[in-house]
Structure 1
Amino acid sequence: MIDNIILYFKNLPHLITYCVRRLKKIWKWFAMSLVIGIILVLGLEGIFDINHNTDIAQGRWLFRVTSLIVFGHIVLSVYLSYKFYRKDYMVMKSFHISSVTPTIVIALLAFVDMFILGLIIAFLKPINFETSLLSLIYYLIMTSIFIGVIAVTFGLLKFILKRFDTIYFIMSAICFFIVPILFIPKTHLSIVDHILMLNPVYYLVHGSAQSIIFGAVSMNNIPYHIYFILFLALMCVINYALVRYIAFDKYDSLNDTHLENDLTHLSDDNGKKLEHDGVFNNNENANEDNEMIGKNE
């Protein structure tokens, strides 16, 4: 344990350099997401000024746009994170550097993006609605942790499933329709609403939008917070198991490769030996035949 800590700090300069390179590759995505989010919010405010919508109507549409922004950042961040994690896993493991750190950097970028957009929405929304910054920060922290944990899970699954990207896009498309973007949950939840709430992305999207538009009311459901924390703990356990499985799988594959090479060399050597023995025996038989012919003559 102590050796790993010492090794980590010894390789920290290399880790920082690696993270900076990753940051240079991905910052454009988050800058673009920030610009698109600002355009969406300002465009929606312009429509409100033209149509003179009521505060309730403005609150509903701002809720939808906020949910869309949070959902988009989650999908983008998880995709970039697990793609890079799969590439970094084998490389950084060889140098005893944590491959999770670039994922954390991506999650922090998503946090900053969503926080800036949340403040803009809070400033432009109707005065009748209150914003809870503490609730917003809490949900954004939970979102960042979720991005880091689930990206590791998906990155490890990509070692096992070759077409995992297709599966991820299908899951994201389905998730778009079952989180509160196209619909807003009612005050009295039905059985269907409770089933949809089992989705952890629903928790993050709904909680973030609710904390910006409606304030601290998003923190009232204590059992729901406990459920999400337990879900993250379960995903950490699954990640631990997947890391062990992939490590043993790679080790077995490496051993199988070495065994096949050894068998190939052994068969080649045996073949050459048999061929040499066959030639030698043929020469001996030929000499014996020549001797017999000479005697007969």
Structure 2
Amino acid sequence: MLERFIQFFHEIPRYFRYALYRVMMHRRWVVLTFLVSSLIMFITVLAFKILGTIDITQASINYRLTGLITFAVIWIAIYNNYRLFPRDYYVTRHFNSSPFLHVALSGLLYGLTLFLLMVVMITTKSINTDTTWFGVFFYSLMSLFFMITLSFLFGVIYMLYPKLNQLYIIISVVLMLLLPIFYLPDKISGVIGHLLMLNPLYYLVNGMQQSVIVGHDAVNHLGYHLYFCCFMGLMIVFSFALRDYVTQLKPNEHSHSHLKADEEETAD
């Protein structure tokens, strides 16, 4: 036991170098996401000026666009992280550690990207709508928490179920249709709205929309904050339970067929 403990500290420099290397593998996705999202926002502002769009229509479109960008960043972060997880798991076993550091650092990178995109939205919007900066920072932080937790959980599931990609895409499309991107929350009844907010993605997307566009009452939902924290706590419990299960399996009981393909697709 003492020998393994000493070996772990001896391998820390290599562990951090590998973690930074894995984070750098996300740079293409991060840069592409930021540029495409920023371009869409600038084109939208230019179209508003050329077409002379009225303020209420501009606010409605910006509201939807904010939600779409928030969802896209979260989706891309989780998708890329869990696909890299199996390879990281096997490598970090040599350091007597886990790939959590890789997931956390890459999640931080996507979380910062989300926050910067919201800053771009705030500074480029052509109408003087209210903005709650505390709300933008708060929901960026909650999105970061969500991305790290779900990336780790889906990464462990991906080791046991290599066909997770198809299921992830199908569920993501369904959840996206239920988000306030294709509709406005004030157009639905209160009961349905409360049911939709049971979806943690709705909580994050709608919270960011209110913080950037609406401003008031963006963070005044104590009940939903508590619900989100409880949901995330449950996801953490599932993550640790599945991780313990995976660690008890023999290496040949894991599925390796998808690792090489994922490496080739993700590598720059």
Spell out, residue by residue over 1:250-270, the C-alpha distance to the aligned partner (whole angstroms, 9 max, x if none). 38959xxxxxxxxxxxxxxxx
Question: 1:64 corresponds to which residue?
Answer: 64
Question: 1:18 corresponds to which residue?
Answer: 18
Question: 2:214 corresponds to which residue?
Answer: 214
Unpaired runs of 5+ residues, structure 1, are: 255-297
Q: Cα RMSD (Å) of the superposition?
A: 2.4
Cα pair 1:65 1:181 within 8 Å, conserved: yes
Question: 1:34 corresponds to which residue?
Answer: 34
| AA aligned opposite 2:16 | I
Cα pair 1:135 1:218 within 8 Å, conserved: yes
Question: 1:152 corresponds to which residue?
Answer: 152
Question: 1:136 corresponds to which residue?
Answer: 136
Question: 2:171 corresponds to which residue?
Answer: 171
Deviation of the 1:3 alpha carbon: 9.4
Compared CA separation, residues 50 and 93, structure 1 to 2 (3 A): same
Distance 2:2 2:137 in 1: 34
Q: Tell me, what secondary structure is at the counterpart of 1:218?
A: coil
Compared CA separation, residues 105 and 4, structure 1 to 2 (3 A): farther
Deviation of the 1:131 alpha carbon: 1.1
Choose 225-234 or 195-204, whichever is displaced more.
Answer: 195-204
Question: Is 2:167 the partner of 1:184?
Answer: no
Compared CA separation, residues 43 and 165, structure 1 to 2 (3 A): same
Cα pair 1:59 1:126 within 8 Å, conserved: no
Question: 1:271 corresponds to which residue?
Answer: none
Choose 120-129 or 23-32, whichever is displaced more.
Answer: 120-129
Spell out, residue by residue over 1:161-184, the C-alpha distance to the aligned partner (whole angstroms, 9 max, x if none). 231111011111111101111111
Question: Is 2:232 the partner of 1:239?
Answer: no
Cα pair 2:132 2:218 within 8 Å, conserved: no
Spell out, residue by residue over 1:150-209, the C-alpha distance to the aligned partner (whole angstroms, 9 max, x if none). 111111111222311110111111111011111110187432222221111111111112
| AA aligned opposite 2:116 | I
Larger radius of gyration: 1
Compared CA separation, residues 187 and 7, structure 1 to 2 (3 A): farther
Deviation of the 1:107 alpha carbon: 1.0
Q: Tell me, what secondary structure is at the counterpart of 2:67?
A: helix
| AA aligned opposite 2:95 | F
Choose 39-48 or 19-28, whichever is displaced more.
Answer: 19-28
Number of equivalent positions: 254
Cα pair 2:8 2:95 within 8 Å, conserved: no
Compared CA separation, residues 93 and 189, structure 1 to 2 (3 A): farther
| AA aligned opposite 1:75 | W
Question: 2:116 corresponds to which residue?
Answer: 116
Q: Tell me, what secondary structure is at the counterpart of 2:250?
A: helix
Question: 1:248 corresponds to which residue?
Answer: 248
Spell out, residue by residue over 1:254-288, the C-alpha distance to the aligned partner (whole angstroms, 9 max, x if none). 9xxxxxxxxxxxxxxxxxxxxxxxxxxxxxxxxxx
| AA aligned opposite 1:34 | F
| TM-score normalised by L of structure 1 | 0.79
| TM-score normalised by L of structure 2 | 0.87
Distance 2:184 2:6 in 1: 51
Distance 1:71 1:246 in 2: 30
Cα pair 2:179 2:202 within 8 Å, conserved: yes
Distance 2:207 2:8 in 1: 36
Deviation of the 1:124 alpha carbon: 2.1
Q: Tell me, what secondary structure is at the counterpart of 2:218?
A: helix
| AA aligned opposite 1:51 | L
| AA aligned opposite 2:117 | L
Compared CA separation, residues 252 and 126, structure 1 to 2 (3 A): closer
Q: Tell me, what secondary structure is at the counterpart of 1:249?
A: coil
Deviation of the 1:241 alpha carbon: 0.9
Compared CA separation, residues 3 and 230, structure 1 to 2 (3 A): farther
Distance 1:10 1:178 in 2: 49
Deviation of the 1:97 alpha carbon: 2.7
| AA aligned opposite 1:48 | F
Compared CA separation, residues 3 and 188, structure 1 to 2 (3 A): farther
Cα pair 2:131 2:211 within 8 Å, conserved: yes
Compared CA separation, residues 43 and 4, structure 1 to 2 (3 A): farther
Cα pair 1:85 1:100 within 8 Å, conserved: no
Distance 1:148 1:40 in 2: 27
Structure number with higher helix proportion: 1
After superposition, where does 1:77-88 map in structure 2 within 5 Å?
77-88=77-88
Deviation of the 1:239 alpha carbon: 0.9
